[in-house]
């Protein structure tokens, strides 16, 4: 019986009852307090790198030679091209984009299996821009206490001026966010000049307006509501996690029972249990979603680690060990209570599977890029009529061919057909070289569509015969092949 109070004091925080936690809680205004520490520093570094890449990447140049844009990353919707440094993706190669999405999903799953909602806390655009908006707000209106005080006061000229300045900067950030996005769809320096002189296409102004409004609204006003109610990832993440995934955890085996520093000292001298948590509520004050991490894992928590920095700062001041809140697991907390060794298994079947799939998809995509051809040939048989019998008894089939030249200079090709002995190939409107072979000229980074006639003698095989069309680059010898059928009575 002597251990009952101790066991009770080390029990995990009880979940709130249905009466205490209704399905929907009216929004309360959250005023996150500024904090310093290693996780806050990591977030600042990630923010600077992420925004730097997003805002300035469209201005990086990449020389692809003549007849090609020199913007490093460009989504050329008008010509159906996606340029990524030395890679050029055509519309029929959309499987590369599918591979990137699959790769991104697997990386997200691996991050979740290792350390919970790392994406939400550090890399999510909503988190990044909200952090930036909070920084502007603190710079102009002050930290948590000042903002809470001003929210209760009547507006003065000073408060009005601060709010006008804050919202003006927010709108400028949101405007540049929308402006940077449209720069990925056109030559950035040219579009900036056209936007400044009001000569840009109307669609550019429309999308800048839409993205300005959404950024200003989501990062300036909705903030944690986006993470709690709009984003599906917290629900998906909960289904993908397991007991070994590290999460921001309140180590209640150390923290309970809570009490002031003086009260804890008195209890320790009396040999009674006393936790390290002094109930200063700094972990709640710095949380951008207003979560009390001491209640355990919650849907609202984005695992940003700011409560760790706040708690470590308090522990340092009172002379207690840091790490009362840390990346840990409830399983380890229970193990420490029971006197068992901690278990940390980052490498386990789940993470090995995700890492293996990431490697596999990455290797497949790299191999596909390495082996991709710079010419492409597609053949489509005419449906009506399927074949024609000529006056001399021979059989003719008609086809539509499409040749894609992915080189950045004009190329000349020859076209041949195999699989039907004695067959004659004619290209409607095509050139014939001195050897009697049809020649196709295709412009740089273009496609050419032409009609092709294949004629076989009257004694051609009946029904259907497999044909192979062979396109050969006269300069490099590179070939592309396509299969179809020759129809006969």
Could you report the per-residue pLDDT of 157-209, keeping only the tens digit for each? 999 999 999 999 999 999 999 999 999 999 999 999 999 999 999 999 999 99
Give the per-residue pLDDT at 1.
Answer: 40
Among 239, 266, 301, identify where a domain stops. Answer: 239
pLDDT at 25 over 90: no
Do 230 and 252 share a domain, yes or no? no
pLDDT tens profile 298-328: 888 999 999 999 999 999 999 899 999 999 9
Would 209 be classed as within a structural domain? yes
Q: What's the whole-number mean pLDDT along residues 26-34? A: 86
Do 229 and 254 share a domain, yes or no? no
Look up the CATH number of the domain holding residue 445.
2.60.40.10
Do 88 and 64 share a domain, yes or no? yes
pLDDT at 474 over 90: no
Give the per-residue pLDDT at 277.
Answer: 92
Q: Which residue has the higher pLDDT, 1 or 118?
A: 118
Do 81 and 153 share a domain, yes or no? yes
CB proximity list for 121: less than 8 A, separation 6 or greater: 43, 127, 302, 303, 304, 305
Give the confidence band of 89 by pLDDT, cuts at 50, 70, 90: confident
Nearest Cα neighbor of 167 from 219, 205, 224, 204 is 219
Would 6 be classed as within a structural domain? no
d(CA 15, CA 2): 26
Would 308 be classed as within a structural domain? yes
Residue 170: enclosing H or E segment and its boundaries? helix 157-182
Do 73 and 212 share a domain, yes or no? yes
Q: What's the whole-number mean pLDDT along residues 10-28? A: 57
Give the per-residue pLDDT at 101.
Answer: 92
pLDDT at 5 over 60: no
Nearest Cα neighbor of 278 from 325, 314, 327, 319 is 314
Do 321 and 265 share a domain, yes or no? yes
d(CA 238, CA 232): 10
Do 253 and 317 share a domain, yes or no? yes
Do 230 and 255 share a domain, yes or no? no
Among 337, 353, 387, identify where a domain stops. Answer: 337
% of the chain with per-residue pLDDT over 90:
48
Would 439 be classed as within a structural domain? yes
Would 67 be classed as within a structural domain? yes
Do 318 and 172 share a domain, yes or no? no
> Would you say 249 and 311 are in contact if contact means Cβ atoms under 8 Å apart?
no
Would 459 be classed as within a structural domain? yes
Would 109 be classed as within a structural domain? no
Nearest Cα neighbor of 55 from 142, 139, 177, 186 is 177
Among 186, 212, 239, identify where a domain stops. Answer: 239
Would 444 be classed as within a structural domain? yes
> Would you say 249 and 328 are in contact if contact means Cβ atoms under 8 Å apart?
yes
Give the per-residue pLDDT at 6.
Answer: 42
> Would you say 289 and 301 are in contact if contact means Cβ atoms under 8 Å apart?
yes
d(CA 100, CA 83): 14
pTM of the shown model: 0.82
Do 199 and 322 share a domain, yes or no? no
Q: Which residue has the higher pLDDT, 2 or 379?
A: 379
Do 53 and 171 share a domain, yes or no? yes
Residue 250: enclosing H or E segment and its boundaries? strand 247-250
Q: In which domain, by residue range, is 406 found?
A: 375-487
Do 307 and 395 share a domain, yes or no? no
State how many domains the chain has: 3
Q: What's the mean pLDDT when you consider all of the chain?
A: 87
d(CA 33, CA 287): 8
pLDDT at 262 over 80: yes
């Amino acid at each position: 019986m002597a251990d009952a109070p101790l066991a009770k004091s080390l029990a995990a925080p009880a979940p709130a009852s249905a009466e205490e936690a209704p399905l929907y809680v009216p929004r309360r205004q959250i005023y996150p307090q500024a904090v310093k520490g290693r996780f806050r520093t990591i977030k600042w570094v990630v923010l600077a790198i992420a925004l730097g890449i997003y805002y300035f990447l469209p201005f990086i140049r990449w020389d692809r030679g003549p007849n090609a844009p020199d913007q490093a990353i460009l989504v050329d919707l008008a010509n159906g091209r996606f340029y990524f440094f030395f890679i050029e993706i055509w519309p029929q190669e959309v499987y590369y984009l599918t591979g990137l999405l699959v790769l991104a999903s697997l990386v997200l799953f691996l991050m979740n299996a290792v350390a919970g909602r790392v994406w939400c806390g550090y890399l999510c655009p909503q988190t990044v821009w909200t952090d930036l908006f909070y920084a502007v707000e603190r710079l102009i209106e002050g930290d948590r206490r000042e903002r809470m005080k001003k929210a209760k006061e009547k507006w003065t000229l000073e408060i009005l001026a601060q709010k006008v300045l804050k919202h003006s900067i927010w709108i400028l950030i949101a405007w540049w966010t929308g402006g940077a996005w449209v720069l990925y769809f056109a030559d950035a320096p040219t579009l900036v000049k056209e936007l400044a002189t009001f000569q840009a296409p109307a669609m550019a102004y429309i999308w800048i307006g839409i993205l300005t409004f959404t950024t200003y609204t989501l990062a300036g006003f909705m903030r944690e509501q986006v993470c709690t109610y709009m984003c599906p990832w917290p629900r998906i993440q909960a289904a993908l996690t397991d007991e070994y995934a590290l999460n921001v955890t309140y180590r209640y085996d150390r923290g309970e029972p809570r009490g002031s520093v003086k009260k804890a000292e008195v209890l320790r001298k009396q040999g009674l249990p006393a936790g390290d948590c002094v109930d200063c509520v700094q972990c709640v004050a710095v949380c951008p979603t207003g979560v009390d991490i001491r209640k355990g894992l919650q849907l609202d928590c984005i695992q940003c680690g700011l409560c760790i920095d706040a708690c470590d700062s308090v522990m340092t001041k009172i002379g207690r060990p840091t790490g009362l809140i840390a990346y840990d697991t409830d399983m380890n907390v229970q193990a420490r209570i029971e006197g068992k060794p901690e278990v940390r298994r980052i490498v386990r079947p789940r993470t090995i599977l995700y890492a293996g799939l990431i490697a596999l998809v990455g290797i497949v995509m790299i191999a596909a890029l390495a082996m991709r051809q710079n010419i492409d040939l597609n053949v489509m048989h005419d449906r009506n009529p399927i074949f024609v019998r000529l006056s001399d008894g021979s059989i003719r089939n008609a086809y539509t061919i499409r040749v894609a030249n992915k080189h950045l200079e004009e190329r000349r090709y020859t076209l041949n057909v195999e699989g039907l002995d004695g067959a004659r190939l004619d290209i409607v409107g095509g050139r014939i070289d001195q050897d009697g072979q049809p020649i196709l000229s295709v412009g740089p980074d273009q496609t050419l569509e032409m009609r092709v006639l294949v004629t076989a003698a009257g004694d051609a095989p009946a029904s259907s015969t497999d044909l192979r069309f062979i396109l050969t680059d006269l300069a490099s010898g590179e070939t592309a092949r396509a299969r179809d059928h020759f129809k006969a009575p």
